[in-house]
Structure 1
Amino acid sequence: MKVALLSDCYPPRTGGIESQVSDLAVHLLAAGHEVEVFTATRGAKGERGGTVEIVDGVPVHRMALHLPGDVPVNPMAPPVVRARLQHGGFDIAHVHLGVVSPFAWDMARVATGLGLPTALTFHCVLDKAALTLRPALRTWTGQGAVLSAVSEVAAKGVGHAAPGLPVGVVPNGIDPGAWPAGPVRFTARPLRVVTATRLAPRKRVGALLRVVADAHARLGPGALVLDVFGDGAMRALLESRSAALGLGDVVRWRGSVSRSELAGHYRECDVYLSTTRLEAFGIAALEARTAGLPVIARADSGLAEVVTDGTSGLLAPDDAGLTDALVRLAADATLRTRLAQHNVGTPPSQTWGRVVDLVVAEYRRAGA
């Protein structure tokens, strides 16, 4: 099967969609499919304007423009991509969408307009955007496109935007070998807490700092430290807020690191903490859980589908509950060890072999 993957974002940009689409391309290729990527993200050496480069054996059509901040937007791309799809011998177009994905929305219009079998996968929780997208989804599904999302939570939002239509669930994939778990170790103090996230408003890092500050106040000095991996435009503001909350000796801003470096750091930590709510899946939390860390997260986010409360982590109904869970794990070494031992001994179900099978099933549904 010849597959076109179409996404606003792709490496060298970093983020959930970027890593998932690039990993999907590689694993589809390994499964015997032919894959090409179309993206509005420039290449590592500035490739853009329709340049095709080979990345990990996959042709990547770089449709980026020269724009401030290299934002992945190109309203002039549709005619070029339409011609390449029309003459490229593709069997399926797989469009990857977020709440704000202008390039991907354009690609959905192009692919369905060509009559090319099209799979549309949402990597976001639509929330209030569901109603505004209803006309577009009605048009595209009327032209044969099939809908899916990366979790049941995200699929529910897509269902609100496309009432009466089936919405598949295709989870994000993970390679457990890339996140090896170390031996379960116990240190009395401090509790080593970690998170990996973009420093952006949607990720609620400010709320995370408040949760840690409240837990620190209850546990006392020296009881915990937090390592924050990731970067973004809000870093300076968040560092100032951390200082204002009295967390100068508690929170350590680690910046962006490679996957292998992050996996190594996870083996030195005790607990992964997430405060996100509008999280469709939570690949970072799944990576940490695969590495053996108990995960603390909100029960009203997509992370509830990769964390089982009381088995692989603790789920909370709100931010106050997250603080309670953090204090509980800091005080209860037996519980923390039990959760970690489960995660070390029980690989996640969202392996790439299974995910590729689900993706190909979506392609066949679109073709039908």
Structure 2
Amino acid sequence: MKVALLSDCYLPRLGGIEVQVHDLAVRLRGRGHQVSVFTATPGAHGERGGFVDVVDGIEVHRLALRLPFELPVNPLAPPELRRRLQQGGYDVAHVHMGVVSPFAVDCARVTTSIGLPTTMTWHCMLGAAAPLFRLVPTVRGWAEAGVAMNAVSGVAGEPLQRAIGDAGVVENLPNGIDVSAWLTERGPQAGADGIRVVSAMRLAARKRPMALLHAVLRVRELAPDVPFTLEVLGEGPDRARLQRFVDRHDLAGTVRLVGRVSREELRRTYADADIYVAPARLESFGIAALEARTAGLPVVGLWGSGLNEYVEDGVNGFLAGDDEALAGCVARLLLDDALRRRMAEHNRQVPPAQSWEHVLERAEAEYARAIALAGARR
């Protein structure tokens, strides 16, 4: 099958969608499919304007404009995108939607207008915008046009299903993970600095890193005699504000803002850590938390996020109702060594269902569904 993956963002940008689309492309190719990527992200050396490069064996069409901060936006792309898709002999298009995805929206308009079977994966939580999606007919119109809709989790898919109503069915197509790569041989062990708590996220308001620091203050009150450290892995626009909070509240000995790290560094960190915390509310999936869970870390997050897909409350982590409860769950794990170790052992012994083998089967099923829906419309 010849597959076109269409996404605003792609490598060399780093983020959840970028990495997932790249990994999906490489693994589909490994299963014998022909795969091309179309993106509004410039190349590593600023390549744009339709330049085609090859990244890890995948043909990447960079339909990018020269914009400040290399923003992945190009309202001029549709004519050229249409030409390339029509001439490329593609069997199916796979559009990847994020929180704000103008390029992906244009891609969906192009693929449906030329009759190319299309599946659309929603990587985001609609949140407060959900009522708007029900009022604006665009999304329902795509479903009526035969687009096979899916989302990375149940909580991401539910508002989407309400938005399209009876025009289609929203399936679940989770993000994938290489389970064997994240399994750790060694169990968590508290070191000289105490119990190691970690979190990986973009340092931006949507991920709620400030709420995490407030939780640290509360945890110190709830477990005053237990030494622990928090390492926050990632970069973003809120870093300076977070550092000021750390300095103002005398948290320098407890909290370390590590910055961006490679996947290998992340693996090493998880292998030596004890607890993972995910404070985001609008987390459609949480790939970093899944990686930590696979590495054997008990995961503490918020109920009603994408973590519901792979964290079983009280079994391999905790899903808290609010920030106060989240701090309480972290404190409980700090205070109860046996509970923490039991959850860690469960996570190392029971792999998650979101392995790439399962995800690729689901993706291929969505491609078949898109082709069938397009055929029914014709």
Normalising to structure 2: TM-score of the pair? 0.95
Provide the rounded CA distance (Å) in 2 between the counterparts of 1:249 and 1:319: 22
Provide the rounded CA distance (Å) in 1 between the counterparts of 2:26 and 2:142: 27
Query: Unmatched 5+ residue regions in structure 2?
Result: 373-378
Map 1:182-197 onto structure 2 (within 5 A): 182-187=185-190, 190-197=194-201
**SS of equivalent residue, structure 1 residue 79:** helix
Report how far residue 238 of structure 1 moved: 1.1
Query: Unmatched 5+ residue regions in structure 1?
Result: none
Map 1:14-93 onto structure 2 (within 5 A): 14-93=14-93
Map 1:254-273 onto structure 2 (within 5 A): 254-273=258-277
Q: Which deviates more from structure 2 when the two are superposed, residues 257-266 or residues 236-245? A: 236-245
Report how far residue 300 of structure 1 moved: 1.7
Report how far residue 73 of structure 1 moved: 0.5
Provide the rounded CA distance (Å) in 2 between the counterparts of 1:185 and 1:237: 31
What amino acid is aligned across from residue 262 of structure 1 in structure 2? L
**SS of equivalent residue, structure 1 residue 314:** strand
Asked whether the 8 Å contact 1:119–1:147 carries over to 2, the reply is yes
Asked whether the 8 Å contact 1:179–1:287 carries over to 2, the reply is yes
Q: How many residues of Structure 1 are paired with residues of Structure 2 in the alignment?
A: 368
Residue in structure 2 matched with residue 231 of structure 1 by the alignment:
235
Deviations 1:198-257 (A, max 9, x none): 011100001011111110233237621100110011111111122223312111111111
Provide the rounded CA distance (Å) in 1 between the counterparts of 2:189 and 2:43: 43
The answer on 1:162 being equivalent to 2:164 is yes
Map 1:116-131 onto structure 2 (within 5 A): 116-131=116-131
Give the ranges of 4+ consecutive aligned residues of structure 1 lying more than 3 Å apart after TM superposition.
none
Q: Which deviates more from structure 2 when the two are superposed, residues 189-198 or residues 212-221? A: 212-221
Provide the rounded CA distance (Å) in 1 between the counterparts of 2:361 and 2:103: 27
The answer on 1:178 being equivalent to 2:200 is no
Map 1:120-159 onto structure 2 (within 5 A): 120-133=120-133, 134-159=136-161
Deviations 1:70-120 (A, max 9, x none): 111111111111100011000001000012101111101011111100001
Provide the rounded CA distance (Å) in 2 between the counterparts of 1:58 and 1:110: 22
What amino acid is aligned across from residue 210 of structure 1 in structure 2? H
Residue in structure 1 matched with residue 317 of structure 2 by the alignment:
313
Provide the rounded CA distance (Å) in 2 between the counterparts of 1:182 and 1:46: 41
Provide the rounded CA distance (Å) in 2 between the counterparts of 1:96 and 1:215: 38
**SS of equivalent residue, structure 2 residue 241:** helix
Residue in structure 1 matched with residue 5 of structure 2 by the alignment:
5
Q: Which deviates more from structure 2 when the two are superposed, residues 98-107 or residues 238-247? A: 238-247
Asked whether the 8 Å contact 2:189–2:195 carries over to 1, the reply is no
What amino acid is aligned across from residue 128 of structure 1 in structure 2? A
Residue in structure 1 matched with residue 296 of structure 2 by the alignment:
292
Asked whether the 8 Å contact 1:131–1:160 carries over to 2, the reply is no
What amino acid is aligned across from residue 177 of structure 1 in structure 2? S
What amino acid is aligned across from residue 184 of structure 1 in structure 2? G
What amino acid is aligned across from residue 58 of structure 2 in structure 1? V
Change (3 A) 1:156 1:181: same
What amino acid is aligned across from residue 27 of structure 2 in structure 1? H
**SS of equivalent residue, structure 1 residue 163:** helix
Provide the rounded CA distance (Å) in 1 between the counterparts of 2:263 and 2:273: 15
What amino acid is aligned across from residue 247 of structure 2 in structure 1? A
Residue in structure 1 matched with residue 307 of structure 2 by the alignment:
303
What amino acid is aligned across from residue 40 of structure 2 in structure 1? A
Q: Give the percent of matched residue pairs that are identical in Structure 1 and Structure 2.
A: 52
Provide the rounded CA distance (Å) in 2 between the counterparts of 1:220 and 1:66: 53
What amino acid is aligned across from residue 170 of structure 1 in structure 2? L
RMSD, aligned CA: 1.3
Asked whether the 8 Å contact 1:119–1:363 carries over to 2, the reply is yes
